[in-house]
Amino acid sequence: MGKLTGRVAVVTGAAGGIGKASARLFASEGAAVVLLDLAESVEETAALICREGGEARACCVDSSREQIVAGVISDVIKDYGRLDVVLANAGISGGLKSLFEQDEDDWAQLLRINLTGTFLAIKHGAKAMAEGMGGSIICTASIAGLRSGAGGPAYSASKAGVINLVQVAAQQLSGSNVRVNAICPGLVETGMTSMIFDAARDAGKEGRLGRLNPLRRAGSADEIARAALFLASDDSSYVNGHALVVDGGLSTSHPVSRQEFGATAC
C-alpha cells in the first residue's frame, strides 16, 4: 500500500520540474493523477507515468482561467467520484527585472499565473474536497515570498501572496477537513531556472550553485516532490496553514548582493 493508494490528485504545471517529479511520485504511491499544463509535453509526463505502472491523464490547458479549472475539477469528480489532493504548482519566474524595468503587462501576467491560478485551484479544489471526505491542497510558493533577495519584484510579490492565501484559506476552510499548505523551495534546477544552471555550466562554475546555503548545493525537483508527498499524505494530518521551507537552510539568513538604486539589473 502506497501513501496515496486509492486517492485522486490534480497537479498543475506538470509538464516538467517540480510538477512532473511530484506527479510521478504521487502515482508511484498509488494515486491516480490528472495533470494540467499549457505545454504539450504534459502528455509526455502522463505517458511516462503510465509506462511506470501508474494511472495518469493529461490536460493541455491554462490553469489560470477559472472556467477551465472549474471544468477540470468537475470532470475529475464525475470520472473518479472523488478528489483528495491538489498540487497548485504552475508558475513563471519573470526574470530578475527591477521595479523600474517591470512593466504593467508583465506584472499582470505573472500574478495571474502564479497567484490567481493558485487561488482558483484552492477555490474549486477545496469545494470538491469539502463535499467529499476532505483532502490536502499544496501550493508551490518560494523562499522569494518570505523576504527579498531570492527573486524579482513581481515573482516575489506573487509568492508572498501564495503564502498568505494559504493561511487565509486554511482558516476559511475550518471544519471541512481540507488542509491547505505551501512549499517554499530554494534554488532548484527546473525549466524555470535552467538559464542559471546552463550559464554556470558553460562558465565552468556549476559547483558554485547553491553555495550560499549551509548544505552548499542546489536542490532537485525530486527533493521538493518528497515534501509535496508529505503534505499530500496522512503523514502531515495535523499540518495546516503552514509554509514548509525546503531550501538547504538558505532562508535562515538570505545572503544577497544588493542592487543599488538606478543600477541596471544583471
Burial class (CB in 10 A: 0-12, 13-18, 19+), 48: middle
Quote the domain boundaries for residue 235: 8-191+219-242
Please indicate, yes or no, if residue 259 is contained in any of the structural domains. Answer: no
227 contacts: CB under 8 Å, gap ≥ 6:
183, 244, 246
CA 114 to chain centre: 9
Q: What is the pLDDT of residues 48-75, one digit of tens each?
A: 999 999 999 999 999 999 999 999 999 9
Please indicate, yes or no, if residue 98 is contained in any of the structural domains. Answer: yes
Nearest to 95 by CA among 144, 38, 151: 151
Residue linked to cell 473518479: 80
Can you say whether the dihedral through the CA atoms of 188, 194, 200, 202 is positive or negative? positive
User: Mean pLDDT throughout 237-242?
Assistant: 98
Nearest to 84 by CA among 186, 150, 8: 8
Q: Are 166 and 86 in contact (CB under 8 A)?
A: no
Kindly state the cell numbers that stand for 7: 486517492
* Per-chain mean pLDDT for the chain: 91
Q: What is the pLDDT of residue 94?
A: 80
DSSP assignment of 164-207 equals HHHHHHHHHTTTTTEEEEEEEE-SB-STTTHHHHHHHHHTT-GG
What's the structural domain count of the chain?
1
Of these ranges, 146-155, 236-245, 249-258, the one predicted with the greatest mean pLDDT is: 236-245
Can you say whether the dihedral through the CA atoms of 246, 50, 31, 140 is positive or negative? positive
Q: What is the pLDDT of residues 166-225, one digit of tens each?
A: 999 999 999 999 999 999 999 887 666 656 655 555 666 666 666 778 888 888 999 999
Higher pLDDT, 98 or 230: 230
Q: What is the pLDDT of residues 127-167, one digit of tens each?
A: 999 999 999 999 999 999 998 877 889 999 999 999 999 99
Please indicate, yes or no, if residue 47 is contained in any of the structural domains. Answer: yes
Please indicate, yes or no, if residue 128 is contained in any of the structural domains. Answer: yes
Catalytic center residues: 155
Q: Report the C-alpha gap between 243 and 235 in whole angstroms.
A: 16
- The 10 Å Cβ neighbour count of residue 234 is 10
Please indicate, yes or no, if residue 262 is contained in any of the structural domains. Answer: no
Please indicate, yes or no, if residue 208 is contained in any of the structural domains. Answer: no
The answer to whether residue 87 scores a pLDDT higher than 70 is yes
Residue linked to cell 514548509: 244
Q: What is the pLDDT of residue 266?
A: 43
What CATH number does the domain containing 15 carry?
3.40.50.720
pLDDT band at 253 (very low <50, low <70, confident <90, very high): confident
Please indicate, yes or no, if residue 25 is contained in any of the structural domains. Answer: yes
- The 10 Å Cβ neighbour count of residue 161 is 18
Complete edge-to-edge strand list for the sheet that includes strand 135-140: 55-60, 32-37, 8-12, 85-88, 135-140, 178-185, 243-246
Please indicate, yes or no, if residue 14 is contained in any of the structural domains. Answer: yes
pTM for the full model? 0.91
